[in-house]
Amino acid sequence: MRYEYLIFDFGGVILEKGSLGDLLFTILQANGELVDYDVLMDKIHKFDKGQLSESKFWREIDVQDYEKIRKNFMNKVLSLIDPTFEQLSLNLKGKIKIGLLSNISESWGEEVLISPQLKGIFDVNVLTGKEGYSKPEPEVYDILIKKCNCEPNKILFIDDKIKNLVVASTLGIKTAWMIRKPKKTPEFIPDYMISDLIQIGSIIEEQKKLYKLV
């Protein structure tokens, strides 16, 4: 078996930090916006599933003049892209197809995809705000499998949240857990556990060698 698709989560995998919600909360606080954290997380969850438009999202968290905050937020997001990812994607070009599966709104996700850092990298993408389902709902993985148009076990999915990997695994997708900081070992054990994206390159190269030996 040889992997055909390498699928990355965004926050916590491609980004060196995890939660976009936490990042936005920090920026809102720095700008003097008095937004309740739990309310913000709830609205972001709905925004990420396409249940709120962007303008309505900002209204629901009571931020009126959001353009400057939004610009600062997106700039900060893109500044957090792991520099290893760019090199890894260049090294893997032509060896495996690369994809994105992220709990992110359609508008933010589309902006990320056309950014100078990530433009043209992904062969397939699943943005939950566009699809209407979010991880770990099984439907979003079904969408991914259909877009990849291959057997699930030929997809390797990397995420920093174990709950997202559990469901992917039940559907036959191979999994890699990104652990940037020490965490308690869960009951579910993924196919791989990594602490640096450079390890993904080694996994893919090893798969190629094994495939040639078969």
pLDDT, tens digit, for every residue of 173-200?
999 999 987 777 778 889 999 999 989 9
End-to-end CA distance of the chain: 9
Please give the CATH number for the structural domain made up of 5-17+81-213: 3.40.50.1000
State residue 177's pLDDT score: 95
Give 7-30 as a DSSP string. Answer: EE-IIIIIBSS--HHHHHHHHHHH
Query: Which of 149, 155, 159, 93 lies closest to 122, judged by CA?
Result: 93
The answer, yes or no, to whether residue 167 has pLDDT greater than 60, is yes
Average pLDDT, stretch 119-126? 95
Report residue 209's pLDDT band, with 50, 70 and 90 as the boundaries.
low
Structure tokens at 190: 């993924």
The pTM of this model reads: 0.91
Q: Cα–Cα–Cα angle for 210, 212, 214, nearest 5°?
A: 75
pLDDT in tens, 12-68: 999 988 789 999 999 999 988 889 999 999 999 999 999 999 999 999 999 988 999
